[in-house]
Structure 1
């Protein structure tokens, strides 16, 4: 809308629709911008790199080998009859998706500061496009696991059709945490140092290098307070013929906590979005 300043000049003030219905309609109308930002981030991600997309192959393979040696060969932790590399790679699918998406989305608003201060569009498009970019690495890791399953002659059964459900469950904490940290990173710039620490800590308290079966039964529900526990167990159950136990109370708890994280993240992001141009 137009407004008159003290010196008599007319200026154009661009402001978002505050009503929720109008806001989500704006998100749909700006869908082309969403795909443009996604494609741009994909191209920039591998631009001027020595081996390009190969990084997405090397990282999960190296991590899988290290975890298999430490936990499988040296610690001799149980794998429930599954080749230990498969146990690890099945957990790394959702975990790497989570870490990559959270790392990218948490700094997405700061990285697009010039764009955010010039024109109006629903700001939620920016962190969401960063999350979609992380699906590239997920697909590559899924292809690596498919090759390994053929190598070990350990093909999935009917449970694999439930994999999209657990992928959807993974989206909830990813989107919720991404919205929280992208907003907090704008208001408090030192949060960019907190995210890597939390991800490193989360790696040790999530069943990536080991099976959840080693956790004592009395601590299972408390352990499931980590939303990624239910997601990782679900991926293993779907891909490894149900060899990993599916803790239904834990899955339910993870779903509830992830939903709360998503809802509160969306609420806080919308609250921060109104003052974004002033503090960025």
Structure 2
């Protein structure tokens, strides 16, 4: 009886700068799932309160922001300040955690990357999924806060999945740029936490966008997280609708970062194993 023919896998270099073979990523979805599950399970391993940190961190930060910016500075918002701050912190905390994780994903996965072939994009994608568990927990906390303030969500909540997806794509857009650069320049991973601290105050988290002078808003909107946070807050709280022109500018900026990031990642991914 003749033996069954062996399956042969042919590995070819990417055909172009912006080619994104999602079919190949889909074929390795089991690996993607296992890597994401591993990261989720180890996120708070040997931690006393575990996923309680997903609640404590934004609550404590929102409380400090409320004391400083609402009580001391008297920042005016159209919704109670604690839920205003918490709703702005949710996408930001997801973004900052995901960005940090994605930045180190290729270098951190070097042991696997140098031994077997798989689409390199799997490593950043696995990190992107980790923070979604914490984000889901924070949604429950925010709804509890809204109930305490007698502030029920409106119909806009139906658009929430769209803004979550935009938040994920924004983190991935910047992350794939940074993780590719971090392979060659390890200073990148050192600089990211510092840049995140600065970036936070360039976003409408602790202050409403109305506090930004009119003449600077077009430049301000180039920051992709401006549109994300404004849309996120509007969908959750149903407050004053965001400036859709500014949201559109933010989305276009995010799309530009995403396309160029994919292009650069695909260009240099064949060198990752050699450099690491």
TM-score between the two structures when normalised by the length of structure 1: 0.91
Residue 36 of structure 1: SS of its match in structure 2? helix
Q: Is the 8 A contact 1:14 1:120 kept in 2?
A: no
Q: Is the 8 A contact 1:236 1:244 kept in 2?
A: no
Partner of 1:26: 24
* Alpha-carbon offset, residue 17 of structure 1: 4.8
Residue 44 of structure 2: which of 14, 32, 46 is its match? Answer: 46
Q: List structure 1 segments (4+ residues) > 3 angstroms apart after TM superposition.
A: 13-17, 19-23
Higher relative contact order (CA 8 A, sep 6+): 2
Residue 177 of structure 1: which of 163, 174, 179 is its match? Answer: 174
Q: Distance in 2 between matches of 1:188 and 1:216?
A: 37
Q: Which range is displaced more, 172-181 or 160-169?
A: 160-169
Change (3 A) 1:14 1:112: farther
Residue 151 of structure 2: which of 150, 154, 159 is its match? Answer: 154
Question: What is the Cα-based RMSD across aligned positions, in Å?
Answer: 1.8
Q: Does 1:88 align with 2:55?
A: no
Q: Does 1:203 align with 2:216?
A: no
Q: Is the 8 A contact 2:173 2:257 kept in 1?
A: yes
* Alpha-carbon offset, residue 24 of structure 1: 2.8
TM-score between the two structures when normalised by the length of structure 2: 0.92
* 1:129-148 correspondence runs (5 A): 129-148=126-145
Change (3 A) 1:189 1:15: farther
Structure 2: 5+ residue stretches without partners = 1-8
Change (3 A) 1:108 1:14: farther
Q: Does 1:269 align with 2:268?
A: no
Partner of 2:183: 186
* Alpha-carbon offset, residue 223 of structure 1: 1.0
Structure 1: 5+ residue stretches without partners = 1-12
Q: Distance in 1 between matches of 2:240 and 2:185?
A: 41
Partner of 1:254: 250
